[in-house]
Amino acid sequence: MAEARPGSGGGGEPSGSLATALAHAARLLESRPALAERQAEEILLLVPDSAEAILMLGLAQRINGKPVASRATLERLVAGHQFWADAHYQLGATLAALGLADDAARELRRATELKPQMSDAWRALGDLATAAGDGEAADRHYAQQIKTSVSNPALIEAATALLDNRLAIAERALKNFLKHFPTDVTAIRMLAEVAARIGRFADAETLLRRCLELAPSFDAARHNYALALLRQGKAAEALVAVDRLLQIDPHDPGYRNLKASVLGQIGDYSETIALYEGVLKDYPNQPKVWMSYGHALKTAGRLSDGIDAYRRSIEQMPELGEAYWSLANLKTFRFTEGDLGAMQAQLARADLSDGDRLHFHFALGKALEDAGDYARSFTHYSEANRIRRAQLGYDAGETTERAERTKALFTADFLASRAGMGCPSPDPIFIVGLPRSGSTLIEQILSSHSMVEGTMELPDLPSIVLRLADRRGRDSPSQYPECLAAMDAGQLRALGEEYLARTRIQRRAGRAFFIDKMPQNFLYVGMLRLILPNAKVIDARRHPLGACFSGFKQHFARGQAFSYGLEDIGRYYRDYVDLMSHFDRVAPGAVHRVHYESMVDDTETEVRRLLDHLGLPFEDACLRFHETERAVRTPSSEQVRQPIFRDGLDHWRHYEPWLGPLKTALGDAATRYPDPP
C-alpha cells in the first residue's frame, strides 16, 4: 500500500515551526546553499526522522559539491521511504553526478513509476540517454518530459507571463529556470517564443535547433523552428523542417498551411494554391486560410478568384480587417456602398482589436480616396498610421545614424583599396529605393527580358547584415558596417557566395540574371561593392511627395516601419537620397537611376538606357511588359499588369492641404527634385 507523505516523524504534515524552518532552508538553497545545508542539519538535530529535512540535506550536499555525502544521505532516506518519488529522483540525480549512470537511471525510472507526472525525472533520464549516445531513448524521455512539464510551477509562471505578453518577466523566469535545468526542452521552446515575439528570429532559431537536438520528435518545436526560419527568409531550410512534419502527419492543416507559406516565399504558387485548396476542402470554415488563399491567387494573376476568396474570408469573419484591406490593396478593386457600411459598423465596435482596426482604417482610406472624398480619406489613413506607428516604435534617428556611419566608412579610398575582392558573379540585379516608387514596374519590364528572372523582395541581404551587426539587444550598438573593414578578400568573397547560395532557391527559370527588389538594400550599396562588385544596382526614384505619401497610404505586411508617420517618412527619404548621392561621388556609375516620371513619359528611351547599363540587348517584350505572365509579389501586382498610365503621377496633390509635416521634413528634397538636395 502507498505510504503517507513523509513529514515530521515519517508521516503527516510538518508542524508549523518545522515547516517554517524547511521553507527557510529551501529559500537559502537558491542563493546560499551552504547555509541551507547547515539549516537542514540543525533541523535534524531537533527532528532526526524528518524526511523533508533529510531530503533537503541530501540536495544541499550535492549542490555544495559533496555528492558522496549526498548519496549516503539519500540512500538512507530511500531505504525508509521506498514509495516516495522525490527521494528516488534526488538520489538518481546524485548518482548521475557521481557518474553512476545505470544506478541513476534505475532510481529515476522508479521515480517516474511512482509519479508519472514528474517532468524533472523524465528530463534527467533524457540527459542520461543523450550522454550515452542513445538518441532514440533520449527522444522518448524528453517527449514524456514535454507532456508532464505543464505542472512545473516555474514554467506555469513563465507561461502565464507569455500569455499576458509580459515578455520581460517570462524571459527572466525562463532564463533562471534554464540555469538549473539547461536541457528542459519545454523551457527552451518557451524562451524561443519570447525571442520570436520581439523579432529576434535568429535567437529563436538557435534555441529551437537545440530543442530538436534534445528531442527530435518535439513536433511543436519543429513547427516553431520552421516559422523562425521562414521569418528570416531561409525558405530552403524551412521547407525541410515542414516536410518532416508532414511525413509524420500529412493531413495536419497547420503543417499544410505552413508549407504553402514557404512555397509562396520561393514563388511556387501552383503548389501553394493546391495546398490551400486541399486544406479548405477538408476545413472550409477557416477565414484566415481563405485570406491566404486569396493572396496566392492574386499573386498568380487570378484576380477574380482571389476576390472571391477574400469575400469568403469576410463572410466567415466579418471583423477580419485584413481581408478588407487585402481587397483595397488590389488597387484596382472598388468597394460597394454596402462594403463601406460594413467596415464602418465594425469600426464602431468597442471590442475590435488594434490590428483589425488599423486594417479597416487603411481600407476605408482607400475606398474614400476612390470616391474622391479626400478629407475623410486622409482622416482614416492618419488614424491607421497612428495605430501602427505606436505598435512599432520607429526611431528615425537610428536610420540617420546608420546612413552617416555608412558614409564615413565607404570612402573612395576605402572602396578602391578593396577593388577586385568579393565574389565576381554578375548574376544579381538589385532594385533599391523607397517602396511605391516604380520598383515593381522596373522589375516587370526587366523580367520580360529573356535573360532576366524576377523574384521578389528577398530578405537575404538584410539577414546577412543582421548577423554581422551582432546586436545583443535593442539598446546594444551594431557592429555594422564597421565590421566590414576588418574582413579580408576571402571573407568578403564568402559573404557574396553566401548571398548567392541563399537566393538560389528563388531562381526557377534558369536565366542568367535575377532581380532582388528589396527597397531597403540602398543602405547596403557599399557592402554590395565589396562582396558582389559585378552586381548591378538600380535606384528607382520618384517625386518625394508622391513616393512618401504613397508609402503613408500603404500598410506593409512587414518592415517599412518608417512609413507610418509623415515626418518619419520625410526624414527617411532625405537619408536615402543623401546616401545615394554619396555613392554617386565615391563610386561613380555604381548606381543607375531611373526616375519614375521619366519612365512613364518616355518608356522606350528609359528602357533602352536601363538595358544598356545592364549590358543586355534590347527586346521588344520589355515594352510589352504588361503581357508578361508571372507571379508579382508586391502591392503593385495588378497595376503592372496594365499598360503605363500617367494618372497616378500627381495623385498626391489631392492631399496637399494635409502634407505640411511631410514637406517640412523633406526640406529642399521636395523642391529640387529630380536633382538631389
Q: What pLDDT, in 10s, does the model give residues 283-341?
A: 888 888 899 999 999 988 899 999 999 999 999 999 999 999 999 999 889 999 999 99
**pLDDT (0 to 100) of residue 456:** 86
| The three grid cell numbers given for residue 539, joined into one nine-digit string | 535606384
Digit-coded pLDDT (tens) for 181-212? 898 888 999 899 889 888 888 899 999 999 99
Residue 10 pLDDT grade (very low, low, confident, very high; cuts 50, 70, 90): very low
Same structural domain, 382 and 510: no
List, in sequence order, every residue forming a beta bridge with 594; answer none if it has no partner.
540
**Taking CA 487 as the corner, what is the angle to CA 486 and CA 493, rounded to the nearest 5 degrees?**
165
The range of the structural domain enclosing residue 46 comes to 8-115
**pLDDT (0 to 100) of residue 123:** 81
Residue 529 pLDDT grade (very low, low, confident, very high; cuts 50, 70, 90): very high
**pLDDT (0 to 100) of residue 131:** 67
| The three grid cell numbers given for residue 271, joined into one nine-digit string | 503548389
Say which range, 219-233, 397-411, 489-503, 634-648, has the weakest mean pLDDT.
Answer: 634-648
Same structural domain, 319 and 356: no
Report yes or no on 165 lying in a domain: yes
Q: What DSSP element (H or E) covers 658?
A: none
Residue 499 pLDDT grade (very low, low, confident, very high; cuts 50, 70, 90): very high
Instruction: Report yes or no: 434 and 595 within 8 Å, Cβ to Cβ.
Output: no
Residue 351 pLDDT grade (very low, low, confident, very high; cuts 50, 70, 90): very high
Question: DSSP string spanning 61-101?
Answer: HHHTT-HHHHHHHHHHHHHH-TT-HHHHHHHHHHHHHTT-H
Same structural domain, 668 and 616: yes
Q: Count Cα atoms within 13 angstroms, Cβ side, for 583.
A: 23
- Rounded to 10 degrees, the C-alpha dihedral 453/457/463/466 comes to 140
Listed residues 392, 421, 437: the one ending a domain: 392
Three-state secondary structure of 500-537: HHHHHHHCCCCCCEEEECCHHHHHHHHHHHHHCCCCEE
Q: Once rounded to an integer, what is the mean pLDDT over residues 527-547?
A: 96
Report yes or no on 147 lying in a domain: no
Same structural domain, 513 and 585: yes
**pLDDT (0 to 100) of residue 2:** 33
**pLDDT (0 to 100) of residue 13:** 43
**pLDDT (0 to 100) of residue 471:** 64
Same structural domain, 662 and 541: yes
Report yes or no on 2 lying in a domain: no
Distance of CA 386 to the CA centre of its chain: 23
| The three grid cell numbers given for residue 476, joined into one nine-digit string | 546594444
Listed residues 334, 356, 371: the one ending a domain: 334
Q: Once rounded to an integer, what is the mean pLDDT over residues 263-292?
A: 89
Mean of the per-residue pLDDT values of the chain: 88
Report yes or no on 567 lying in a domain: yes
Instruction: Report yes or no: 141 and 123 within 8 Å, Cβ to Cβ.
Output: yes
**pLDDT (0 to 100) of residue 675:** 87
**pLDDT (0 to 100) of residue 6:** 44
Q: Which of the given ranges, 21-30, 277-286, 500-509, 586-595, has the highest pLDDT on average? A: 586-595
Instruction: Report yes or no: 530 and 411 within 8 Å, Cβ to Cβ.
Output: no
Residue at 380: amino acid letter: H
Is 578's pLDDT higher than 60? yes
- Per DSSP, the three-state class of 452 is strand
Same structural domain, 73 and 211: no
Q: What is the CATH number of the domain that holds 633?
A: 3.40.50.300
The model carries a pTM of 0.74
Report yes or no on 462 lying in a domain: yes
Q: Which of the given ranges, 298-302, 509-513, 611-615, has the highest pLDDT on average? A: 611-615
How far apart (Å, rounded) are the C-alpha atoms in residues 534 and 536?
Answer: 6
Report yes or no on 660 lying in a domain: yes
Listed residues 316, 334, 352: the one ending a domain: 334
How far apart (Å, rounded) are the C-alpha atoms in residues 272 and 567?
Answer: 39
Q: Give the closest residue to 55 by CA, choosing from 33, 96, 88, 20.
A: 88
How many other C-beta atoms can be found within 10 angstroms of the C-beta atom of residue 315?
11
Same structural domain, 175 and 42: no
**Is cis: bond before 481, omega within 30 of 0?**
yes
- Per DSSP, the three-state class of 429 is strand
List, in sequence order, every residue forming a beta bridge with 429; answer none if it has no partner.
515, 536
Q: What is the CATH number of the domain that holds 268?
A: 1.25.40.10
Q: Once rounded to an integer, what is the mean pLDDT over residues 533-554?
A: 96
Greater pLDDT, 413 or 638: 413
Q: How far is CA 501 from CA 423, 463, 507, 527, in A?
A: 12, 13, 11, 17
| The three grid cell numbers given for residue 352, joined into one nine-digit string | 475590435
Is 254's pLDDT higher than 60? yes
How many other C-beta atoms can be found within 10 angstroms of the C-beta atom of residue 510?
6
Q: How far is CA 129 from CA 88, 135, 136, 476, 482, in A?
A: 18, 7, 8, 39, 45
Same structural domain, 623 and 540: yes
Report yes or no on 402 lying in a domain: yes
Q: Give the closest residue to 69 by CA, choosing from 88, 53, 91.
A: 91
Q: Exposure string (b/e) for 95-122, b if CB count within 10 Å is 16 or more?
A: bbbeebeebbbebbbbbbebbeebbbbb
**pLDDT (0 to 100) of residue 63:** 85
Percentage of the chain modeled with pLDDT above 70? 92
Q: Hey, CA dihedral for 167, 172, 177, 183, is it positive or negative?
A: positive
The stretches of 164-302 forming alpha helices (DSSP H) are: 167-180, 185-197, 201-214, 219-231, 235-248, 253-265, 269-282, 287-299
Per 3-state DSSP, what percentage of the chain is helix, strand, and coil (rounded to 5)?
70, 5, 30
Same structural domain, 640 and 599: yes
**pLDDT (0 to 100) of residue 99:** 82
Query: Looking at the 3D structure of the chain, how many domains does it have?
Result: 4
Same structural domain, 619 and 528: yes
How far apart (Å, rounded) are the C-alpha atoms in residues 186 and 204?
Answer: 13
Percentage of the chain modeled with pLDDT above 90? 59
Distance of CA 214 to the CA centre of its chain: 23
Report yes or no on 3 lying in a domain: no
Same structural domain, 494 and 611: yes
Digit-coded pLDDT (tens) for 412-439? 999 999 998 999 999 999 999 999 898 9
Same structural domain, 249 and 280: yes
Residue at 263: amino acid letter: L
Q: Count Cα atoms within 13 angstroms, Cβ side, for 475.
A: 0
